[in-house]
Structure 1
Amino acid sequence: MVDFQILSDLHLEAPPAYDIFDIPAKAPHLALLGDIGNIRDEGFFSFIEAQLRKFRTVFFLPGNHEPYHSSWVEARNKINAFTREISQRAPTEGLGEFVFLERTRYDISDAVTVLGCTLYSHVPADQEERVSFGLNDFYHIDDWTVQAHNAAYAEDLAWLNEQVASIEPQRKIVVFTHHSPITRDPRAVDPAHAGSVIGSGFATDLSGEECWKNARVCVWAFGHTHFNCDYVVEDDGEAKGRRVVSNQRGYYFKQAGDFNVEMVVSV
């Protein structure tokens, strides 16, 4: 049995709360699925390091807010530099392992594999203009356009499909993403935003993709939507029995319902 404590969308950047937000350790492995804060903030990496003093493993993948007022290139460079620093310090300082999920496979046991990436979303041509003007990402991330967003989504999706298809058949697969793979199931979609003209900036229907259809994917956890869910797929072909999880805090002044800082998922 492998236990993961799963959180996302803490938004500790506004108001700044890196030094006061507490995550009580209820599992050996912590998964932070994006929009934890902003990588340019002084307290961001200190917050991550504080978790490494409590958890055996901290999985982290960036959401769209991590590179605000910066670029994706700079954000990845800073996270990679932090990864190298922690790996050097960990043996002497008793730190856990930091795993940067950037199209990353991590075999956490002989039977369980973690696959993680941001995923992004696919914005169709008829929504490009509305999404471009309607999402802050395209104002606050340097050199970021809907076209770049779609290209990153295509790369992440191709990687996920290839990994899921090729992983050893005896393994269970846990998928961590920031963006949502679901657009139609009301259990995973905020009714307040159903049918939104900018909805494609938040989620993409992956029901026809290998990464969703493959029966070995036993858990898929995501964030970004500020709408929480925890259910088991009951009637979706090969995906039947999969647990779908989203555990997002949301903005401090507009928090998502049913957020649980102690939520643990067992595989």
Structure 2
Amino acid sequence: MKFTTLLATTSTVSAAPIAAPNPAAIAKPLAISSTQARNVYTEAERRQTVPGKEVRATSHGRDSVKFTLYLHLEAPKSYDVFKVVPSAPYLALIGDIDCVKDSEFCEFTTKLSKFKIVFLVLKNHDSYHSNWTSTKENILDFEKENREKNTAGNLGSFIFLDQTRFDLSDEITILGCTLFSSILPPQVEMAGFGLKDFYHTEDWTVERHSQAHKADLERLNTQVKSISEPEPHRKIIIFTHHSPTVSSLATDPVNANSQVSSRFSSDLSEICWTSLNVRVWAYGHTHFNCDFLDPGNGKRAVTNQSGYYFKQSEGFDETKTIEI
């Protein structure tokens, strides 16, 4: 199973047969600078055994999933210059794409018909100049509209991941949510005054942000447990916007001592992070690219973030794919 990385309602969904896309291209090795050498590894390096753990090499030759993790196409508007490069049948949009209320967002998404399935996770910027309730309603309306238009199966499916389980096959399940983050008590005041999220999103506070994180985390834990116990063979891929780890491998050294570091990441230790069934966790939000195996259970933690239009993130690869 291959995923392409492109910068992204509680339910269980089964994948419907859709016309097969063009054969996926194999992604080129990710070019990295010397400062990223510890954070981004080659495919061969990822296949090596993690100390103390046996890590199964990723399989090739099966369906592939393409996902781009971070775009920030709304700051400033850059739909006209960003080109989606299809190198796998599936695309996951899990980075900031646009404020969902803007018409250009849906216009951009409709151009993604070249993929078999497009997965979307909401991001912190998507609710700007609106609120989370309206933002989710807009996405659900778009998902319904796309489903109604796709009766012939030529548009590709659009799947909104909001505490959602999507069974891609008998062996692979995708889970997804925003995740948000747990703002640490010493950072609450600074986060409340310093982050645009609490100014540009209606009725949004640090407390509600942390509550949303708790709800998403509890749902992920419940889903992973309900899958891993009766179906120990099933492989799980998790897509979130916010980072699930504070590992030094996943943290930009520039932000290591940030007074609002918990706005980016949470230090998860629950079953959704530790389960051996979870093979890949892809996320965005941090503006820092990494691709490594977690030493705890060997799952792959990966980001592929383009960054802002005028401030690109090192290591972004528009053809990057993830396989499982």
With normalisation by structure 1, the TM-score equals 0.95
> 2: distance between equivalents of 1:92 and 1:215?
38
2:239 to 173, 176, 182: 176
1:12 aligns with 2:73: yes
Matching residue of 2:307 = 250
Matching residue of 2:184 = 124
Aligned residues: CA RMSD: 1.1
Mark the structure with the bigger radius of gyration: 2
Per-residue deviation, 1:92: 3.7
> 2: distance between equivalents of 1:6 and 1:231?
17
- What SS class does the counterpart of residue 124 from structure 2 fall into? coil
Kindly, what percent of the aligned residue pairs are identical?
A: 46
Q: Deviations over 1:70-104 (max 9, x none)?
A: 11111101000000000000124710000000000
AA of the residue aligned to 1:88: E
Gaps of 5+ in 2: 1-61
Matching residue of 2:3 = none
> 1: distance between equivalents of 2:261 and 2:64?
32
1:21 aligns with 2:82: yes
Q: Deviations over 1:186-221 (max 9, x none)?
A: 221000000211011110000x21111101100000
Q: How does 1:60-139 map to 2 (within 5 A)?
A: 60-92=120-152, 94-139=154-199
AA of the residue aligned to 1:7: T
Instruction: Say which is worse superposed, 11-20 or 123-132, in terms of deviation.
Output: 11-20
> 1: distance between equivalents of 2:148 and 2:238?
27
Q: How does 1:40-59 map to 2 (within 5 A)?
A: 40-51=101-112, 53-59=113-119
> Which ranges of 4 or more aligned residues in structure 1 deviate by more than 2 Å?
none
> 2: distance between equivalents of 1:63 and 1:78?
14
Residue 181 and residue 85 in structure 1: after superposition, are their counterparts in 2 closer, same or farther (change >3 A)? same
**CA contact 2:67–2:93 (8 Å) conserved in 1:** yes
- What SS class does the counterpart of residue 67 from structure 2 fall into? strand
Instruction: Say which is worse superposed, 219-228 or 39-48, in terms of deviation.
Output: 39-48
**CA contact 1:117–1:177 (8 Å) conserved in 2:** yes
**CA contact 2:174–2:239 (8 Å) conserved in 1:** yes
Q: Which one scores higher on RCO, CA 8 angstroms, separation ≥ 6?
A: 2
Residue 162 and residue 93 in structure 1: after superposition, are their counterparts in 2 closer, same or farther (change >3 A)? closer
With normalisation by structure 2, the TM-score equals 0.78
> 2: distance between equivalents of 1:215 and 1:66?
32
1:205 to 267, 288, 294: 267
- What SS class does the counterpart of residue 236 from structure 2 fall into? strand
Per-residue deviation, 1:22: 0.9
Q: Deviations over 1:196-252 (max 9, x none)?
A: 11011110000x21111101100000000000011122x32xx1x211110111110
Per-residue deviation, 1:170: 1.4
- What SS class does the counterpart of residue 122 from structure 1 fall into? coil
Per-residue deviation, 1:42: 2.2
Gaps of 5+ in 1: none
Per-residue deviation, 1:40: 2.2
Q: Deviations over 1:26-53 (max 9, x none)?
A: 00000110311111222111111101x1
